[in-house]
Structure 1
Amino acid sequence: MVTASVLAPALAASPATAQRNADTVPVQLLALNDLHGNLDAVEGPAGAVTRTGPDGAPEKVQAGGVARLATLLDKSRADAAGHESLTVAAGDMIGGSPLLSAAFHDEPTVDALEALGLDVTAVGNHEFDEGPDELHRMRHGGCHPEGGCSIEGKPYDGTDFPYLAANVTRKQAAERKAPGDPILPPYWIKKLPGGERIGFIGLTTRHTAASVSASMVRDLEFGDEVRTIDRYADELDRKGVKAIVTLLHEGGERAGRTYDADCDTEGPGSRLSGPVKEIAGRASAKVDAFVTGHTHEPYTCTVTDPEGQPRLVTQGASFGRTFTDLRFDIDRATGDVVRSSASAGNHVVTPETERQPAVRKTVEEWRARSADLARKPVGHIAADIPGRGSDQLETPLGDLITDTQVEATRGEGAELALLNWGGMRADLTHRASGDEGDGVVTYGEAFQVQPFGNPLVTMTLTGAQLREVLRQQFSGANAGSPEVLQLSDALRYEADLSREGAARLLEDTIRVKGEPLRDDATYRVTVNDFLAEGGNGFSALKKGTDRESSTTDLAAFTDYLGNHSSPENPLPRPAADRVTLR
């Protein structure tokens, strides 16, 4: 069996803590995040991990697959013999899933997570893709209200593990000022065999409402992360729980090119940026470690807490490509974590790893139920068409998808289409993923690219409003990290990323069908319903008028592939030349 590569510990265990004694209890946390129902390894660049190779240079390796992940979790547990081992997750374990899971409302992913031993998870934004009622069904069981029972005669029985949602409450009536109770438990307490207890606080980013369709969460509030953590850390402390870990679906970015780059080169968290660094630096010092998610960036870092003590902040890569192994000791006398004993490493789930039999059996049983639909050919491509795995802000797959959306909505007068980066979830790869043959795009592969089935909304924007949409790629919520929209063929512009904010957009270069954008003109623009409701900071799209919706992003994609490609004339890779970056 080939095992995973290991990241150097963010905090090295000292000689005093390397030798266990009766005064402490060694604990292992195996941490996951952002699986998104990817039971199989993701093909192409989106399924790769960049690590440091034998010669010290970065190298890319393909990674993922829950049955392989289960094998490595088993091995890590065995390697940590004598530790109390728990498996935890930081959200987005479901939602945006490939066909294998999504065809059955993500029940296959729940089965797989139970089989590999998940103990507890926080909610992420994608747990709300179908609203809070569906999240409650996922947790507590019952057949889908529209799809019925996935297995005839066998109602779905819910998760064996708890979902935590400390900062998610129902919107309160105007006369009520007190915060409401969370829609799911705010924390979970695990009692170890020796009587020691660990409290896990679970929550999602306060920006969840801007990260999913607004219609799904309009009745929910997502509270401030620091205030929520402080509240429940105090409550756990009053209950005598001193060892506390936060499972937070909010993350950061790391500066290193590889997943195993040193995060603390110039001091605690020196190479970490983004929201989680501030949250971990401000939240209650009663919390001993943060397991995070959302940004899909693998890191193990330390951040100094408000009392000046270092604490671990970790995240694994998305789609089951890596997992994190955290270890620390609990002082038997105080019940608290011995911070100096803490260490963590990320492990890559490499393709050579053997599949764990029980999890493999679970996955294959679900695969058999969707095999015919998944294998159905829907188109042909002449080369790889990178999307989610591209390292460019404009992607060939983004070009293709937006063109499919214009064609699908011409009946509503569409001239242009715009797509958010998160609206494409994978790449199209030329190499066959099964027995369909190279260059064949199956329905399952198309579904993996466009898994949400988002309705497409065609609206009228003035030129001034369209200009503002393009400005919002670089300003407001997107000022720190540009959200460059994917564009259909009729739209062109240039941007200078050396500038700041909206000034990055070179407005006099905007062209529609080769003509300069006119503020007083009107344009028919198609977007998915997430963007139409102002998602990802594009509030200008909420001003669009004369809205019409007749199809979904997935239907537009598969119809276009079928109408414009064949074995003799496969689709070429788009040039991705619609946005010129200086």
Structure 2
Amino acid sequence: MSRLSRVLAACLVAALTAAGLAALPVHAEDEPVSLRILAINDFHGNLKPPPAGIRVADPADPAKTSMVPAGGAEHMASLVKLLSDGQPNTIFVSAGDLIGASPFLSAMFHDEPTIEAMSEMGLALSAVGNHEFDEGKDELLRMQNGGCHPTEGCRGPQRFTGAKFHYLAASTFLAGTDKTVFPPYEIRTFEDIPVAFIGLTLKATAGIISPASAAGLDFRNEAESINALIPELKAKGVQAIVVLIHEGGWPSGGMNECPGLSGPIVDIVKDLDSAVDIIISGHTHQAYVCTIDKRLVTSADKFGTLVTAIDVKLDRTTRDVVSATATNIVVDTTLPKDPAQTALIDAYEKVAAPIANRPAGSIAQPLSRVPNGAGESALGDVIADAQLAATAKGGAVIAMTNPGGIRTDLARRDDGAVTYADVFASQPFRNQLMTVTLTGAEIKAALEQQWLDPARPRILQISNGFSYAFDPKQPAGGRVDAASMMLAGKPVDPAASYRVTLNTYLALGGDGFTAFKGGRDPVVGPYDDEALFAYLKANSPLAPPPRDRILNRAQ
């Protein structure tokens, strides 16, 4: 057994022990009712273990950490069964983003495989996440109810019948109404004690999905939406309340620690009615077990690498939560593979393989999406260059893409080869390209919108030949130095017109880049993944570019 395997095995044993895996003894009637909640978040269609795994501390020396393999539906299903074994009351839930921004195997089938995998695994309830809305409300309703895709039909190995679990959407309303897209909560009973599970996504969802997908929907304040339900739940005799919320924070400690937590979830929890007992969070792709305002708050990393085991005691008289503890447990890839999950994955792979295995070319080194101090990444540069190459014959001179659309590094096999599945993993949204006319002043205005959230700017990735400098310490509207904006070695003229290629998400004002909505004379081009695939074929072996297009003057 390798050192990493020993570390992971030790972590798993310690975690299972901490989570109280052993069968519970029979309690007297005045003893609390035991409930185990198993929780995940941000699975994003990772039916197979993600390449990066997860970083864990060595139990023998917590100062040392190692990256270990983790995740995959086959191993998660086995862990869920293991953690449920011997427990009188168990429920498996999600805090959203089960689907969307998924690897090729799930995304090719519009995430039907993931819905089927989670249903087979016994998932009971899930909050809607922002990525649940990537293809719009009607497509999400199809995920719940089943049926063939409206334009691509039934492509999978069997007819899609929809989720066996229930989506919850307490803060997502049909615009102009008080009707939620899905039920706001569901009540489950454990030994005659009702427990309410409220599910919802972040208020900012409309700003981080495409404007077309957000049309007709109203995403309301998280805490207010939850608090508004408390009188109704109490009237139904519910005292124990669990929130599944697709919003989170950023910790400073290990996956089962919380020495410091920042981010939206902190204020949301503090604003919640005291009747709320437990908060299962997500969205930020972090792992933590925290106490905020005397309430348990958890998150289980991303891509199915962790399952949170939450052990709850319910008072038989008051019917309320008297205690709750949690442990994040690694989805160890040495766990046996669940046969039902293996069969499901194999069935979809047989259909997907001919497309997934198409050779795209080769790369000299992996292309990282990790940005430098100016927000520029090697993969971002290559993607922008690919989009410019795909649209240059139509007059494009600049291409820009949003960093949030780049989901993973572009990996290489031992021989440097890259397949279509690898390309798709990096750009899973499959946005169409659109070339529009913008003035130099409009381009600058769009670049200034990179700091709508100064604490977490969204630096656009730009094509070769275009460059500029910025100073994040300057006031809003003055961070980009207009004189530094250069195209093909010449200053960008504020009054001149330029043909700029964007994906449709940006062109419609996605991520808050409303300046792009003024683009004129739109010409629709290929899909972004097809542009990158063609660029690799034409330029292999491709080396990482130098990342010198954007200058941060504050460094």
TM-score by length of 2: 0.91
| Distance in 2 separating the partners of 1:502 and 1:327 | 50
Partner of 1:222: 219
| Distance in 1 separating the partners of 2:488 and 2:405 | 24
- Tell me the alpha carbon deviations over residues 538-562 of structure 1, each in whole angstroms, 9 at most, x when there is no partner: 1211122222212111111111111
Residue 210 of structure 1: CA displacement?
1.4
State the one-letter code of the partner of 2:326: A
Partner of 2:238: 241
Tell me if structure 2 keeps the 8 A contact 1:42–1:426.
no
State the one-letter code of the partner of 1:228: S
- In structure 1, the residue corresponding to 2:361 is in which secondary structure? strand
Gaps of 5+ in 2: none
Residue 510 of structure 1: CA displacement?
3.1
Partner of 2:278: 289
- Tell me the alpha carbon deviations over residues 149-190 of structure 1, each in whole angstroms, 9 at most, x when there is no partner: 2347x5321111111111122122xxxxxx421121111111
| Distance in 2 separating the partners of 1:429 and 1:407 | 22
Partner of 2:337: 355
**Which 10-residue stretch deviates more, 394-403 or 457-466?**
457-466
Tell me if structure 2 keeps the 8 A contact 1:300–1:344.
yes
Tell me if structure 1 keeps the 8 A contact 2:156–2:351.
no
Residue 242 of structure 1: CA displacement?
1.0
| Distance in 2 separating the partners of 1:146 and 1:415 | 33
State the one-letter code of the partner of 1:353: L
State the one-letter code of the partner of 2:546: A
Residue 162 (structure 1) aligned to one of 143, 161, 166: 166
| Distance in 2 separating the partners of 1:394 and 1:195 | 56
Residue 57 of structure 1: CA displacement?
3.1
Residue 280 of structure 1: CA displacement?
1.0
- Correspondence list, 1:554-565, <5 A: 554-565=529-540
Partner of 2:76: 69
Q: Is the aligned partner of 1:325 residue 2:306?
A: no
- In structure 1, the residue corresponding to 2:485 is in which secondary structure? strand
Q: Is the aligned partner of 1:180 residue 2:178?
A: yes
Q: Is the aligned partner of 1:277 residue 2:283?
A: no
- Tell me the alpha carbon deviations over residues 88-111 of structure 1, each in whole angstroms, 9 at most, x when there is no partner: 001111112222112222111111
- Tell me the alpha carbon deviations over residues 361-405 of structure 1, each in whole angstroms, 9 at most, x when there is no partner: 221221122112111211111111112699983211111111000
Tell me if structure 1 keeps the 8 A contact 2:281–2:299.
yes
Residue 505 of structure 1: CA displacement?
4.0
Q: Is the aligned partner of 1:577 residue 2:548?
A: yes
- In structure 2, the residue corresponding to 1:166 is in which secondary structure? coil
Partner of 1:93: 98
- In structure 1, the residue corresponding to 2:525 is in which secondary structure? coil
| Distance in 2 separating the partners of 1:107 and 1:254 | 33
State the one-letter code of the partner of 1:448: A
| Distance in 2 separating the partners of 1:496 and 1:392 | 10
Residue 62 of structure 1: CA displacement?
3.7
Residue 251 (structure 2) aligned to one of 240, 251, 254: 254
Residue 206 (structure 2) aligned to one of 194, 209, 218: 209
- In structure 2, the residue corresponding to 1:112 is in which secondary structure? helix
Partner of 1:451: 428
| Distance in 1 separating the partners of 2:10 and 2:341 | 18
Tell me if structure 2 keeps the 8 A contact 1:7–1:347.
no
Partner of 1:33: 41
Tell me if structure 2 keeps the 8 A contact 1:389–1:427.
no
State the one-letter code of the partner of 2:45: G
Partner of 1:543: 518
Q: Percent identity?
A: 40
Tell me if structure 1 keeps the 8 A contact 2:374–2:551.
no
Residue 255 of structure 1: CA displacement?
2.9
- Tell me the alpha carbon deviations over residues 18-70 of structure 1, each in whole angstroms, 9 at most, x when there is no partner: 99764211111111111111111222xxx342333354134333432111122
Partner of 1:469: 446
- In structure 2, the residue corresponding to 1:59 is in which secondary structure? strand
**Which 10-residue stretch deviates more, 247-256 or 352-361?**
352-361
- Tell me the alpha carbon deviations over residues 491-517 of structure 1, each in whole angstroms, 9 at most, x when there is no partner: 223344566655554554333223333
- Tell me the alpha carbon deviations over residues 187-236 of structure 1, each in whole angstroms, 9 at most, x when there is no partner: 111112x1111111111112211111111221111111111101122211
| Distance in 2 separating the partners of 1:8 and 1:539 | 50
Partner of 1:396: 378
| Distance in 2 separating the partners of 1:8 and 1:241 | 34
* CA spacing shift, 1:389–1:447, aligned 2, 3 Å: farther
Partner of 1:107: 112
TM-score by length of 1: 0.87
Q: Is the aligned partner of 1:513 residue 2:488?
A: yes
Q: Is the aligned partner of 1:373 residue 2:377?
A: no
Partner of 2:136: 131
State the one-letter code of the partner of 1:314: T
* CA spacing shift, 1:468–1:39, aligned 2, 3 Å: same
Q: Is the aligned partner of 1:23 residue 2:31?
A: yes
- Tell me the alpha carbon deviations over residues 509-529 of structure 1, each in whole angstroms, 9 at most, x when there is no partner: 333223333322222221111
State the one-letter code of the partner of 1:513: A
**Which 10-residue stretch deviates more, 353-362 or 449-458?**
353-362
Residue 505 (structure 2) aligned to one of 497, 515, 530: 530
Gaps of 5+ in 1: 173-178, 266-270, 305-309, 433-437
**Which 10-residue stretch deviates more, 327-336 or 485-494?**
485-494
Higher relative contact order (CA 8 A, sep 6+): 1
Residue 319 (structure 2) aligned to one of 312, 335, 339: 335
Tell me if structure 2 keeps the 8 A contact 1:207–1:222.
yes
| Distance in 2 separating the partners of 1:67 and 1:502 | 50
Partner of 1:307: none
State the one-letter code of the partner of 2:99: I
* CA spacing shift, 1:226–1:330, aligned 2, 3 Å: same
Report how many aligned residue pairs link the two structures: 538
Aligned-residue Cα RMSD (Å) equals: 2.6
